[in-house]
Structure 1
Amino acid sequence: MTTNSNLFGNIAQDLQYNGYSIQSLSLDLPSVLALQARLAELDFSAFNQAGIGRKEDHQTDKTIRRDKIYWLDQRNELESVFLNYMDEVKGYMNQRLFMGLFSYECHFAHYQPGAFYKKHLDAFKGQTNRVLSTVLYLNPDWQTGDGGELVIYDGKDHEKELIRVAPSLGTFVTFLSDEFPHEVLPAKSARFSIAGWFRVNNSIGGHIDPPR
C-alpha cells in the first residue's frame, strides 16, 4: 500500500524532472471519501457558472469554459478533511522542493454533458500568483467514450500534446501552473473534479496577497 510519504515523494520527483505528475490516490483515503460524501449532499443550485480572470478582470465566457464551480471552505467538516490533506502536500513540497507554497484554494468543478474548458494557462510567466495546480477526479466507473479528458500540452511547443488524462475516480494530477497549457475536452457524461492551486505569498506592506 502506498503511504502518503511515498505518494508525495513520487509527486515531488515527477515535478522536479517533468514539471507534472499523475498519480492514483487510494479510494479509501479519508480525503477522497469525504469529498464524495460532500458532493453527494450538495445541492447543485449552489454551483455557479465559472468565469475567467480575477477580481475586476473576472468575466464569464461560455465560448471558453462551461463548467460550474463550488469553492471549498474549512468551515465545512467534510471539505476541511481534503483541505487539511492538501496542507500536508504543501508542507512536503516546501520541504522537498523549496517551492515556498503559502496558501491553497480549490473548488468542485461540475461539467455537464457538452461542457468543456479550452486551452489555457493557470498562471502567466513572471506572475507568481499560482505556482502549482492540482486536479483530483471524482468519477467512479468513467468510461472511455465519456470524454472529458484533461489534455496537457508541452510547455515550449503549445501545440504538442503530452498526455491525456481520463477523469477517473482517485486520479490526482499536479503540474506547474505557468508551464503547461491544458484543456478539458467536452464531456459526454456528468463530470466532477476538485481543481485547486497553491500560491506563494505576494504580500507587500499591509496588503495580504493571497488572503488567508
Structure 2
Amino acid sequence: MQKLIEAISNQGYYIWDDFMSPEQVETLKSCLPDEWNKAKIGRNDDSARIADIRSDKICWLSSDLGEPVQQFLSKMEVIRQAANQAFFLGLFEYEAHFAKYEVGDFYQKHLDCFRGNENRRLTTVFYMNDEWKDEDGGDLVVYDLDDNELLKIKPKAGRLFVFLSEQFPHEVLPTERERFSIAGWFRTNGVKDNLLDIAN
C-alpha cells in the first residue's frame, strides 16, 4: 500500500501488478453476470447511449453479487482509508461496475469527472483477462492534460491501475478478443443512488 501512496503523491497514478492472485481473479470472474446493460455517456437524465464514443457493456457491482465481489470491495475500502489518511481527500464512498468489451468494442478519450461536479477523485481499473497478447488490442492509453501520451496498459489479469480522476484523460483501444474489467471511483459525497457511468 505504501508504494501506491508514494506513486500517487509523486506522479498521480500507480500500476499494481498481482493486486489479486490468479485464483482470486478466477473466483471474481465467476460473479460476472449473464445480463449486461449498454454503457452510456453522461449522468442521470442527461445520459445517452452513443455508440461512436463507447461500445462496452456494464453491470454495477453490489455485495449481493457474491462473496468474491464482497472481498474485492473490502480491498477497495482499504485503499479508500489509506488515501484519505495520506491525502485528506474526504473520499466517502466507492462505486464500480464490471465492464465487458466484445470484439471491436472501444471507448474514446475522456476524463473521469464531469464539468461542474468534480466529486470523483480517484479512479481504479482492475483487469481479469488471462494470457493477454499484444495482438489482442484493448490497451488503456493514458494521457496528461496537455494530450501527451504517458502510458499504454495491457488489461492483464490481476493488474490494478489507480489514478487521479481529474488529471489523466484516457481511452480504451478497440479489442480483438473479449475483455473484462472492473472500473471504479472513489467519490467525495455520499449519494448512494447517484450512479455514474464512465467505464474503463
Normalising to structure 1: TM-score of the pair?
0.85
Query: Cα RMSD between the aligned structures?
Result: 1.8
Does structure 2 conserve the Cα–Cα contact (< 8 Å) formed by 1:139 and 1:169?
yes
Query: Which residue does 2:97 correspond to in 1?
Result: 107
Q: Which runs of 5+ in 2 are unaligned?
A: 195-200
Residue in 1 that maps onto 2:179? 191
Q: Which amino acid aligns with 2:191?
A: D
Among 130, 149, 157, the alignment partner of 1:161 is 149
- Count of residue pairs the alignment pairs up: 193
SS state at 2:59 partner:
strand
Deviation at 1:211, TM superposition (A): 4.5
**Paired residue for 2:29, among 13, 22, 36?**
36
Gap change, CA 1:32 and 1:127, over 3 Å in 2: same
Which of residues 166, 182, 197 is equivalent to 2:170?
182
Task: Quote how far apart the aligned CAs of 1:93 are.
Answer: 1.0
Q: Which of 121-130 and 27-36 deviates more?
A: 27-36
The equivalent of 1:55 in structure 2 is 44
Secondary structure of the residue aligned to 2:71 is: helix
Deviation at 1:125, TM superposition (A): 6.0
From 119, 125, 140, the counterpart of 1:129? 119
Shift of 1:128: 2.6
- Over 6 Å off, 4+ runs: none
- Mapped to 2, the partners of 1:130 and 1:62 lie a distance apart of 24
Distance 1:26 1:58, change over 3 A: closer
Partners of 1:113 and 1:33 lie apart in 2 by 21
**Equivalent residue letter for 1:209:** V
The question of whether the paired residues in 2 share the 8 Å contact of 1:104 and 1:198 is answered with yes
Q: CA deviation at 1:32?
A: 3.4
Q: Which stretch has the larger CA shift, 75-84 or 14-23?
A: 75-84
Change (3 A) 1:164 1:192: same
Work out the percentage of aligned pairs sharing the same amino acid.
Answer: 44
Alignment counterpart, residue 159 of structure 2, candidates 171, 177, 192: 171
User: SS state of the match for residue 109, structure 2?
Assistant: strand
CA contact (8 A) 2:126 2:181 kept: yes
Q: Is the 8 A contact 1:32 1:82 kept in 2?
A: no
Aligned residue among 13, 22, 28 for 1:20: 13
1:60-113 superposed Cα distances (whole Å, 9 cap, x missing partner) = 000000000011102233321111111111111111222211100101100000
Partner of 2:69: 79
Q: SS state of the match for residue 70, structure 2? A: helix
Specify the SS of the correspondent of 2:31: helix
Task: Give, in whole Å, the separation in 1 of the partners of 2:126 and 2:72.
Answer: 11
Shift of 1:21: 1.0
